[in-house]
Structure 1
Amino acid sequence: LECVHCSSTVGTDCSGQVKSCTDDQTHCQTITSELIKDGRATRGVFKFCAAAEAQNWIHREELLTTFFQLEIQICNTDNCNQGPGQITPRDNTPNGVKCKQCYVEHSEVCDTEETTECTGDMNKCLFMSGLVCNDGTDYYVCAQRVCTNLASPEQHPFYFEVTAGNIQKIEITEGISDA
């Protein structure tokens, strides 16, 4: 199998070398990210060979005026990851789930009674703390509580950073009901 290998931080497409995958890499993969902060969107893309267990997947989280989405597309024919990455439009309809919401820099604590209404498929609450924030150069400690579509911490794209010790905690909980 041959796949396009490239990355870009300015848009959903890139062009690069076509590389032969190793025997345990049976898929081509395109990972597209979208970060919308205060109404401004930035997108990026990574394309490469992927292992057999890779699968199509969308990760979403939202906090105050920031929305983040990571979309993974898998295919298994030569150069099938050649075209632009895909960003599936989100559903902004409130889904009845509420989560505590906060964002604190230079702290691993983020306790609040303030809540937000989650939308679309984001029906769980995510708490994450540790070396999560980036100032463009380095990662630094912060904590946040957000709405997410993840069912378990292991699904988080940065879960490996927990075992590496960079992220202290990733916790997924049920939403808050008005009862």
Structure 2
Amino acid sequence: MKVLLGLISFTIAVIAGEALMCKQCLDKRADDCQGESVICDLPGGMCAKGIEHNILNGDVVPTAFRACTNDTRLCGGQVSLSTAPFQLLLYTECCQEDDCNCGEIIMPPKNTTKNGVVCRSCFTEGDYSCTDVSTIECTGNEAECIEFSGQAARPEEETMIYSYYGCVTKGVCQIGFGGLPGSVVYEQRVLECTPSIETN
């Protein structure tokens, strides 16, 4: 029995020693956060750190995070959503060494170079429909047009009904908004991404 218990203890120690350790924290309305080191036990897990900027009429609300993840789709790039008064930016870095997601969290400057595509643009608060529609020239990696209608909340703010059209990084509709660290979508009536209209 002592031999068996010793073998079990040794096996647990080996498993624990091989497990990836990641810093973990979440701080809404902050540009950085600090947290404790935790075991990342997700299959194919990685350490991640990043920041979200929810921008409405020039008011930037940041959310910083450090976590364990096994979703590589957001790693190493900036996700961008733009309408006339509203922008949502998310930047995530991923790594595979113990506590490698430490260090400063910095949102890279948004690429404002026009990329030659155009989408419908509209933004409405308090209504599920968006009628005052214009156009917006997409920039950077915003290669698709997005339509959204539903209930959502900016970080630590009240839930409101929103409807908007705009430009978005390709793949956002496949990923969805469930993984946002700060902004929260409570009801999603419409979420659709379509190819942009080429202008040249």
TM-score (norm: length of structure 2): 0.75
Kindly indicate which of the two structures has a greater share of residues assigned to helix. 2
Q: Secondary structure at the match of 2:174?
A: helix
Aligned residue among 56, 60, 81 for 2:101: 81
Unaligned runs of 5+ in 2: 1-19
- Alignment match, 1:60: 80
- Alignment match, 2:50: 31
Q: Secondary structure at the match of 1:99?
A: strand
Q: Retained in 2: the 8 A contact 1:132–1:143?
A: no
Are 1:171 and 2:189 an aligned pair? no
**Structure 1 runs of 4+ with >6 Å offset:** none
Aligned CA distance change for structure 1 residues 166 and 41 (closer, same or farther; 3 Å): closer
Distance 1:171 1:38 in 2: 24
- Alignment match, 2:162: 142
- Alignment match, 2:123: 103
Distance 1:165 1:81 in 2: 29
Are 1:44 and 2:63 an aligned pair? yes
C-alpha displacement of 1:23? 5.2
- Alignment match, 1:18: 37
C-alpha displacement of 1:143? 0.8
Aligned CA distance change for structure 1 residues 50 and 178 (closer, same or farther; 3 Å): closer
- Alignment match, 1:119: 139
Q: Retained in 1: the 8 A contact 2:24–2:67?
A: yes
Farther off after superposition, 133-142 or 82-91: 133-142
Question: Once the two structures are superposed, what CA deviation does each residue of 1:75-128 show, in whole Å capped at 9, x if it has no partner?
Answer: 111110111223222221222211111112222222444111111211211101
Unaligned runs of 5+ in 1: none
Farther off after superposition, 104-113 or 118-127: 104-113
Aligned CA distance change for structure 1 residues 75 and 69 (closer, same or farther; 3 Å): same
Q: Retained in 2: the 8 A contact 1:5–1:17?
A: yes
How many pairs does the alignment contain? 175
Two-structure CA RMSD over aligned residues (Å): 2.7
Q: Retained in 2: the 8 A contact 1:108–1:142?
A: yes
TM-score (norm: length of structure 1): 0.82
Q: Retained in 1: the 8 A contact 2:85–2:123?
A: no
- Alignment match, 1:151: 171
Distance 1:20 1:169 in 2: 37
Q: Secondary structure at the match of 1:8?
A: strand
